[in-house]
Amino acid sequence: MLKSIPNYIKYIFTNIFFLFLFSLVFRMIFYTFFSQLDEAQTIEIQKAFWLGVRFDIKISVIAFFPLASLILIVNYRFFKNKTYKKIAVLYLVLVYLVLTLFYLFDFGYYDYLNIRLDASSLRFLDDIKISSQVLIESYPIYKGLLGLLILCFLIFIFSKFIFIYFSSQKKTISKKLKAIYFIGTILLMSYGIYNSITHYPLRWSQAFFSKNNAVNQFALNPVLYFFDSFAFRSEGVDINKLNTYYPVIARHLDLPKDKISFERKTAFDSTFTKKPNLVIIMMESVGVKPMSYYGNPINSTPYMDSIIKRSLNFSNFFVHKAGTAASVFASVTGLPDIDDVKTASRNPMVINQRIIFDQFEGYEKLYFLGGSANWANIRGIFQSNIKGLKIFEEGSYEIEDRADVWGIDDYDLFKESDKELYKLHKKGKPFVAYIQTATNHMPFTVPDKKENYKPLTNSEISSELLEKSGFKSIAQLNALRYLDFNIQRFLDRSKESGYYKNTIFAFFGDHNTAMKRTDLFSKEYDLEIQPHHVPFFIHAPNFVKNTTINTNGKLADIFPTLASIARVNHTNYTLGDNLMDSISSNKNISFVYLKINGEPSVGLLKDSLYYSRTNVTKTNGLYNLNEKEVKDYKSIYPEITKQMDSLLNAYYHATKYLYFNNKKLVE
């Protein structure tokens, strides 16, 4: 029977089969090296695998469909024309190359963020130079390029071989049979794309069937998921929704009830005779889970542990969105980053904002980072909103020993920052400084030795302990230990320079590093909010008491809180609040923006409760973080669910409104 099938039909399905095998190989590579399914149930892994096979069949058919259409039109003449041969071989080489690039980028993206490649990854193209350097310094890119060339050559030879193998058409067939094979092939390929016997086709959302996100991620095909995720795009301001929920946010933030206004003035009866300095330190990729202070079994952060014990610590502090650019934007503007695809910092329409950082009158204002401020348009966020700001970046420092793509390492960054702060201190000028660290980021570049810091070796940490800690590698652990060392060294320098006693030091993590699931904070991992839970502590022995506050806090609260501690009169136009204000302390919440089952979503945390809702399908849930089991309580506590949903909507739509309605007045 097979002999009676025309060769051009065999050629179509043979190529689809090999494309499927090609995708399947990459699925097995992902399973072996990236999937982190050690704790997953076997039955769920099997289900995810077979779902993945269906996704792989779908992408294989889609990838070959254009060439198959041509073949069905010209049928047996396809093998008689050399032009068709060139088209087929070139097309297949390109298809295999594109698929390979997608899979390889997906491996790196998942290794970094624990999610498969999606449309939001395009934000890295905005900083193509930096992104390219990260790839070069983190992965064997040049060997990879050589490998791609070899792959293209092999595919070229293989495609020619298949073409020649099926090129001998011994007999022609009738028009009726051609029509039957044409329709039959179209139907089979259509079914391969539809891939379902139900009323609905195979969709990416079917991959998210498990409470274990690693299982769901394993089921996805990154090529299909990348294009499917384009459905989730940023939306504009919905003024009707804002009017509906403004009364809710007005009650929560003590805003005017009779008009839409987020303006809150804070004036102090007395201020400090000598203005205190402020130093805000953004700690790259630091969450609570990798810190020994919060129970990590490895003594990963001994210096920070000691500092926290002598500081005002906020144990339930969450960033709005897991990403460095998003956290810089939110910490400076006081507005969450809720952009679906890129980051708010890259949107020229929302850069202009009235912020508290700009209201420190009589202060020198500085921004330090090891690389370039052009990254993610961060320069625009700072310079367009802060008068008199001085930016120190690569090319600005006396001594520059570039460590990697992120510029000078944290040791030199803190050292050079201290030099500038010392100059201002000697001149009697108070300052507000924002220092953005980067060494605790891939490619995790640390020195072989720096003063009393020395990286650990594989022999010094057992594989069992590393697994229990959640760290993915010794390199990841060493980068955190290096940051920990540099923070203590910076405080030591500030004492030597003389400005320590009159300075308020604020430390916060921009997001958690990608870690494996462990018993520590496992509920947050399962609900996908672990990347948002970060440390925030204020070290200022002369200005704050050493204590831990367990109520919720959010990134937008940083400047309202610090301005109040420093007794700086200011007007707050943002969604941030003073975490120290006893009047609103019972209202403290955390607002997060994340992806749930691949869909853009928002969440609200208050005390032990976490409420989440997806933006498109409106799927919601209420969870108790103090319980080990992930159980949805929305049907049990409908009133609490309703209240938290209203406040969540209020924060979301207020953020959208303020993006475009919090502009600085023209002077």
User: What tens digit of pLDDT does each residue of 591-646 get?
Assistant: 999 988 888 899 999 999 999 999 989 999 999 999 988 999 999 999 999 999 99
Partner residues linked to 453 by β-bridges:
450
What is the model's pLDDT at position 585? 56
> Per the structure block, which two tokens stand in for 638?
């409908």
- Cβ atoms of residues 417 and 113 within 8 Å: no
Inform me whether the pLDDT recorded for 582 exceeds 70. no
Q: CA–CA separation, 434 vs 276, rounded Å?
A: 15
Q: What is the pLDDT of residues 280-323, one digit of tens each?
A: 999 999 999 999 999 999 999 999 999 999 999 999 999 999 99
pLDDT at 152 > cutoff 80: yes
Q: Is 324 annotated as a binding residue?
A: yes
Q: Is 320 annotated as a binding residue?
A: no
Q: Taking Cα atoms as reference points, which of 180, 6, 181 lies closest to residue 76?
A: 6
Q: Is the pLDDT of residue 217 over 70?
A: yes
pLDDT at residue 486 above 70? yes
570 is in an annotated binding site: no
Q: Tokens at residue 376, please?
A: 């993610």
Contact in structure between 367 and 382 (CB atoms under 8 Å): yes
For each of the domains in the chain, give its residue range(s) and CATH number, in order of start.
2-230 (no CATH), 280-576 (3.40.720.10)
Query: Tokens at residue 580, please?
Result: 């120290």
Per-residue confidence (pLDDT) for residue 547, from 0 to 100? 95
Does 273 belong to an annotated binding site?
A: no
Q: Which of the given ranges, 90-99, 402-411, 623-632, has the highest pLDDT on average? A: 90-99
Query: Residues 187-191: what's their mean pLDDT?
Result: 95
510 is in an annotated binding site: yes
Would the pLDDT of 457 be above 70? yes
Q: Is the dihedral of CA 110, 32, 525, 44 positive or negative?
A: positive
Over residues 37-58, the pLDDT tens digits come to 988 899 999 999 999 999 999 9
- Rounded to whole angstroms, the Cα distance separating 657 from 506 reads 29
CA distance 397 to 412: 9
* DSSP bridge pairs for 613: 602, 620
197 or 98, which is more confident = 98
Q: Which residues fall within 8 angstroms of residue 162, CB to CB, at 6 or more apart?
A: 11, 14, 15, 18
CA distance 73 to 220: 33
Q: Using CB atoms within 10 A of its CB, is residue 170 exposed (0-12), middle (13-18) or buried (19+)?
A: exposed
More confident residue, 105 or 141: 105
DSSP SS3 for 603: strand
Q: Please give the single-letter amino acid code of residue 428.
A: G
User: What gap in Å lies between CA 12 and CA 79, rounded to an integer?
Assistant: 12
- Give the chain's radius of gyration (CA, Å): 28
Rounded CA gap, 49 and 43, in Å? 10
% of residues, the chain, pLDDT over 90: 72
pTM of the model: 0.79
Q: Is 244 a catalytic residue?
A: no
Burial label for 212, CB within 10 Å (0-12, 13-18, 19+), is buried
Catalytic residue among 100, 185, 324, 333: 324
Neighbours of 243 (CB within 10 A): 12
Q: Which of 87-91, 139-143, 175-179, 396-400 has the highest mean pLDDT?
A: 87-91
Please give the pLDDT value at position 233.
54
CA-CA distance, 288 to 515, in Å (whole number)?
A: 11
The separation between CA 192 and the C-alpha centre of its own chain, rounded to angstroms, equals 33
Range in 203-217, 382-396, 503-517 the model is least confident about: 203-217
Cβ neighbours of residue 430 closer than 8 Å, sequence gap 6 or more:
274, 275, 276, 277, 362, 363, 364, 424
Q: Which residue, among 541, 486, 131, 419, has the nearest Cα to 281 in the 3D structure? A: 486
